[in-house]
Amino acid sequence: MSDSHSQLRLVRAGIDTYQQPVVYMHRDCHVCRSEGFTALTRVLARSGDREVVATLNVVVDDHLELDVAALSEAAWTILQPVADAVAVFSHPEPPASAPALRAKVFGRRLGETDFLALMRDTVENRLSDIELAAFITASAGERLDVEETIALTKAMLAVGNRIDWGSGAVLDKHCVGGLPGNRTTPIVVAIVAAAGHRIPKTSSRAITSPAGTADAMEVMAPVALGLEAMRSVVEREGGCIVWGGSVRLSPADDILIRVERPLDFDSDGQIVASVLSKKAAAGSTHVLIDIPVGPTAKVRSAAAAALLEARLIATAQALGLGLSVLRTDGLQPVGYGIGPALEARDVLSVLRNDAAAPFDLCSRALDIAGALLDVAPGAVVGKGRAVASKLLDSGAALGKFLAICEAQGGFTEPGVAPYVRPVLANRTGQVKAIDNRRLAKIAKLAGAPRSATAGIDSRVRIGKNIQAGEPLFHVHARSPGELDYALDYASAHPDIVEIGTGQ
């Protein structure tokens, strides 16, 4: 198809729309007029032997010429146009999954073929963000049953890459989240790899938190490794900690996460499908899931944890994946730092056996590493934690971690934010509770995770006696404006750290 009436010259807009392909046209261009395109129309662009379905944004002033279409970074990467390229624009065919999407919105149960169609259209950009938001909302809460969760997980797995590590056990771990500073993964990977096991860890960037594992790890070493580079690191060192988005192990999940981020909610079904599709795609055989439980954690009660655990186990069995669950304390943050560089600092202090290292992070990492070593084939159950502790104390875990960093591209010490201010206690007493969600929000307002050095350094713990005027935590920021945003929020919510009468 090369009709001149539907052609426009391509330029690069230089606009990052994350993973969403967007095309920009002037409202008076001949393509908009002849095709009837309006703002947010889905358009099909073909250039050479490549094509992309993108969302149209309409330009109303003279910033864009009438014979030009500007592509967002995501659209440009997919089309990869040559110099002076043109594209032919048309209306795309309706997505094959439209009937399944509509059925789910109206409360019907979906089968495996329905979910497969939805996930295929998701990775092929056939569904707009509005349609994806509708699917996520229709699947939220308890609107996905166990069978649908299994079907969605299999569909996510089917539309991405899978790694085959050959024979033998491949260990992995995951935390369902909701607990600031709970950065055990780099420590656990280092210990398990030092014990001689394979642990190829793919991790996510922050969704609704001030830092994901990939964000914290990226402060210390490159994480955007492709599949072959990841394999090379694991073959060399036994483990890795890389960003899952680069290896496309569950690309549909990466796209759904992008839409979930502004919605700021998910569901048990979506959590399970997200986690286990990536674990199965990574070639894992034995997986440990950490579920922190607390009133301001993601999982708020023992009853909710039991429901999530049952769904995880049922889905893992359907995938042929060995899975165990460890419920942990989710009442308060773990470690001192909340934010990529601050959490990386804590990780290194534990691995280096620093006397001032956060005890709770160290203890939790040893619990998880020990539980994972206990489920490894041939392990003597109950001995894992002692093995983990020995590997940490001897420096073997630190050596392995630094070797993994070097294999991924080189180790870097975490940086420090230029602006730091304390938030002070307004009364004397004993710390009764800490609001994880609001504490995390302060770290995000300070600039985390976008600003790697931004976040919070929090040393208070439940049960600690504190004096009026004593620091509750320190806010770290890259700019005065971000610091002020965070401090204003902290001032407006003085009960983030609840102080009661001392005992």
Which two tokens mark 218? 């990226």
84 is catalytic: no
Element (H, E) at 455: strand 455-458
DSSP per-residue codes, 9-56: EEEE-----TT--EEEEETTSHHHHHHT--TT-EEEEEETTEEEEEEE
Cβ-contact 376, 197 below 8 angstroms: yes
Distance in angstroms (rounded) separating the CA atoms of residues 499 and 163: 50
Residues 6+ apart with CB under 8 A from 354: none
Kindly state the tokens that stand for 185: 């993964």
CB 326 within 8 Å of CB 367: yes
Instruction: Supply the Cα-derived Rg of the chain in whole angstroms.
Output: 24
Instruction: Quote the longest CA-to-CA distance of the chain.
Output: 81
Give every CB contact of residue 471 below 8 A, 6+ residues apart in sequence.
422, 423, 424, 425, 459
Token couple for 217: 């790890």
Catalytic-labelled residue, pool 172, 266, 360, 367: 266
Angle between helices 384-393 and 185-194 (to 10 degrees): 100
Which residues are CB-neighbours of 205 under 8 A, at least 6 positions away? 212, 214, 215, 243, 245, 449
> At 420, which amino acid appears?
V
* Count of Cβ atoms closer than 10 Å to residue 169 Cβ: 17
Would you name the residues annotated as active-site residues? 266
